[in-house]
Amino acid sequence: MILLQTLLQPEIQLVRVDNIDLSVYLPLLWIPILIGVLVACAYIARFFLHKWGCAHHAMFESRTLLITLPKFRHEGETERGPQKEQVQEAIAAAESVFSALGGLKAQRGLHVWLYGREDEYTFELIVEHRVIKFYVTLASDQQQFFEQQLSAAYPDAYIEQVEDYNLFGPQSVILGSYLKFTRESAFPIKTYRKLDQDPLNSLTNVLTKVPEGEGAAFQFVVRSSYKNWRSRGVHIASRMQQGMSMEDVLKGKKKEKPKPGEQETQYHLSPQEQEAIKGLEEKASKAGLDVCVRLVVAAQTAAAAEMTLQNMLNAFSQFNIYQYGNSFAKAMPRSKTRLIQSFIYREFDEKYRIVMNSEELASLWHLPLPWTETPNIKWLGARAGTVPSNVPSEPGDGKLELGYNVYRGIKTPVYMKPADRTRHMYLIGKSGSGKSQTIAKYAIQDIQAGHGVAVVDPHGDLIEHILANVPRSRVDDVILFNPSDTERPMGLNMLEAKDPSMKDFAAQEMVAIFYKLFPPEMIGPMFEHHMRNVMLTLMSDTDHPGTIAEIPRMFSDEAFQKVWRAKVTDPVIRSYWENEVDKTSDFHKSEMLGYMISKVGRFVENEMMRNIIGQTKSSFDFREVMDKKKILLVNLSKGKTGDVNAELLGMIIVSKLQMAALTRADIPEADRHDFFLYIDEFQNFVTDSIATILSEARKYRLNLIIAHQYIGQLVKNNDSKIKDAVFGNVGTTFTARIGPEDVETLGKIYSPEFSGYDLMNSDKFTWYVRMIVDNAQVKPFTMNLYPAPKGDPELAEGIRELSRLKYGRDKRLVEADILERTQIAASRGPMPPPIGEK
């Protein structure tokens, strides 16, 4: 009673109990109370600091990475599937990653005690919108280290930094659970090396059953363990090896020494206990990691959530070693709200901490294997490759912006030097892979840079896109060749050769065009012979050449023929008329006329085509187009022009540009401006002479950008000349998504960096690029593209009208002129008077 009064009334100075002066010890009684209060305050503060630190780290300092792999099978797989060794080797890649993480030095110190550790990695396997994804969340300062380790283990992995996902809907029923070991963490679980199949299948199969609108997640929060985690397992194994049963070791019993005179009783370990010792030692021999396993389900009903959660828990039973190892058991938290909060912030809950080694953790979480047949896994469509360091990444000096490379979260611009563009560019990819958009992007850049450009488009949409993006300062440079504009047709005369040296080339190209348009058996050497001589005759007057439309009249009208024969100076051509035609009977002449008209007549008899190819003067000078940096846009929309007509016109235009380029030999090379010729579906508009363009036109600064869909288009009647010319001369190759039939050819170009699987599964606007830099080939890489701007449709309409008025001729004038020269429709009534033309 006296002592109590003393504690309650400290002002009492002297109290004697059995002659002991308690006033001396009174201050000491406050010390444990103060210490207790301080410790309690410290732990309370630590609790809130842990919460704050976890939330702050999750919101501001963490990065969420989506990991995807391509689904292609490796060599060595049997018909029945992969061998067990192959599966184990593939899973071992994840074990190497966890070994690296387990080898990191665990954080210590007062800051760690107060705020918690920040060296944690969260590995998640989730399903949302019925798609199974693999995520890793970590601190921003650990991202580089982790990506290096993951890329070393999984070279084909694509790492993409993404926004955090959200499984929870406003009406979701949320359930969750932790997993703990039934025994001490020193005891091992069954790993992938002891299982016959990939253990991941059991986890992913559960997620495939989660319906649309619901979600589920396996979450493993991982960090490196302190070194002393091994001591318990080593101690148990050592005691058992000394002749103790596992039960006695776990109960803490000591091995009894035999009494004097008694023989020591030896405990014989069973094979299972010997295997248990081996498991304890093997677990302790590998890198250890602290793990917090959390399962969360968001479903539309409580029953659905309970069923999914139970299925997720059951998936871990495959890892259990019940008697002499460890097994998993669920641990339901008291507060569901705190579980959800910990899940969102990826908090490591010390209460549910277990220790696993790298092999055990790799069994629970690893990236899907090529043989994983679980549906709905998010696979990588194709691998990505980094752009080589010597590829230009800065603008300026006339470089073309090709696109950008994204590799492991790093975005790098890609440019091409003007000198490298002279070695031509080749684009191949299926319909819808982005070829037209790519051509539009590059052509618009060249137009805006002031270059001379020609674009041949078989569809029409590409031309409209480019028209809408022509700068106002270059409106007068545009020449829009549109055959479907029948009211003001533009002239296109293949037999117009201002340079006499180009006559033979023009005639040969025209013959090659007919070979391309018709089967070889319908042409033949006789057709070629007659056609060449007739065309050279019509080209004998350089100032006023004939046209293709006049070829039939050369055989049917002797007076007309004599007018042109009088202009011929070449003795070989004169010999043709005097020694062959003049000595041919009228019957054979009529046969020859029918043969020629059957090939040429289909174009002459078509009003639209006749008004174009029947004009003696082309509406524009191709050499001037190149030298003065004009913009030639050729709209050969097959729906309006017709397939064969479009091909004929396209081949004539390409040949005329080639002829114009070759005539640039009369000016010094330094004075030749770059001219860029873009041809979509180019196989329809080129002849075998493309080899000449690709190999020689470079000197005359005619640079080709050619595109099409598949290699089979380059081979016709088993003739692979065009194919050989392209793959033998093109410097830079762009490959988008292709079909399996092209893998054999293109796979060799991109091997070993990329496989045929990559080329067949690339995304839209994604190119596999193999380019030259400073005339040297570089390693292939992947490249994405920003689509070209939509432009101004009103400006496009104004340019179209200006071009047709400037370069087109009134239809009635053209028809009157052609009919007068060809007498095709002499039987027709009188033509209406043509509109006067200045």
Find the CATH number of the domain harbouring 67.
3.40.462
Please count the other Cβ atoms lying within 10 Å of the Cβ belonging to residue 619.
Answer: 19
| pLDDT score recorded for residue 65 | 94
Which residues form the domain of 564?
491-605+808-838
Instruction: Specify if 462 maps to a domain.
Output: no
Give the residue from 313, 333, 364 where a domain finishes: 364
Structure token digits, residue 137: 């969340």
Structure token digits, residue 601: 């007549």
Structure token digits, residue 206: 């559960």
Contact partners, residue 475, CB within 8 Å, separation at least 6? 795, 798, 799, 802
**Is residue 168 a contact partner of residue 298, using CB atoms and an 8 Å limit?**
yes
| pLDDT score recorded for residue 32 | 77
Q: Which residues pair with 64 in a beta bridge?
A: 137, 162
Instruction: Specify if 173 maps to a domain.
Output: yes
Please name which of 85, 49, 736, 81 lies closest in space to residue 430, comparing C-alpha atoms. Answer: 736
Residue 407 class from Cβ within 10 Å (0-12 exposed, 13-18 middle, 19+ buried)?
middle
CA atoms within 13 A on the CB side of 102: 26
Please name which of 167, 240, 814, 726 lies closest in space to residue 492, comparing C-alpha atoms. Answer: 814
Contact partners, residue 9, CB within 8 Å, separation at least 6? none
**Is residue 688 a contact partner of residue 409, using CB atoms and an 8 Å limit?**
no
Q: Cα(696)–Cα(701) distance, rounded to whole angstroms?
A: 9
Instruction: Specify if 796 maps to a domain.
Output: no
- Burial string for 366-404 (b: 16+ CB within 10 Å, else e) reads bbbbbbbebeebebbbbbbbbbeeebbeeeeeebbbbbe
Based on the domain organization, do 350 and 499 belong to the same domain?
no
Contact partners, residue 370, CB within 8 Å, separation at least 6? 69, 71, 72, 73, 74, 82, 90
Give the residue from 345, 364, 383 where a domain finishes: 364
Instruction: Specify if 231 maps to a domain.
Output: no
| pLDDT score recorded for residue 825 | 42
Structure token digits, residue 348: 């490591």
Instruction: Specify if 180 maps to a domain.
Output: yes
Instruction: Specify if 629 maps to a domain.
Output: no
The conformation of residue 58, written as its DSSP 8-state character, comes to: I
| pLDDT score recorded for residue 12 | 42
Give the residue from 314, 349, 364 where a domain finishes: 364
pLDDT, one tens digit per residue, over 197-211 is 999 999 999 999 999
| pLDDT score recorded for residue 307 | 95
CA triple 31-32-33, angle to 5 deg? 90
Instruction: Specify if 739 maps to a domain.
Output: no
Beta strands 131-139 and 121-128: pairing type?
antiparallel
The conformation of residue 808, written as its DSSP 8-state character, comes to: -
Domain count, the chain: 2
CA triple 399-730-459, angle to 5 deg? 80
- Integer CA distances (angstroms), 50 to 54, 57, 335, 347, 773, in order: 6, 10, 18, 9, 54
| pLDDT score recorded for residue 42 | 67
Instruction: Specify if 816 maps to a domain.
Output: yes
Q: Cα(610)–Cα(603) distance, rounded to whole angstroms?
A: 6
Please state the length of the chain.
Answer: 838
- Cα dihedral 745, 746, 750, 755 sign: negative
Given a cut of 50, the residues of the chain with pLDDT beneath it are: 1-8, 10-17, 75-79, 824-838
**Is residue 351 a contact partner of residue 293, using CB atoms and an 8 Å limit?**
no
Task: Kindly give the residue spans of alpha helices, DSSP state H, lying in 468-582.
Answer: 503-517, 524-538, 551-556, 558-565, 571-575
Helix, strand, coil percentages for the chain (3-state, nearest 5): 45, 15, 35
Asked if the bond preceding 752 is cis, omega within 30° of 0, the reply is yes
Residue 205 class from Cβ within 10 Å (0-12 exposed, 13-18 middle, 19+ buried)?
middle
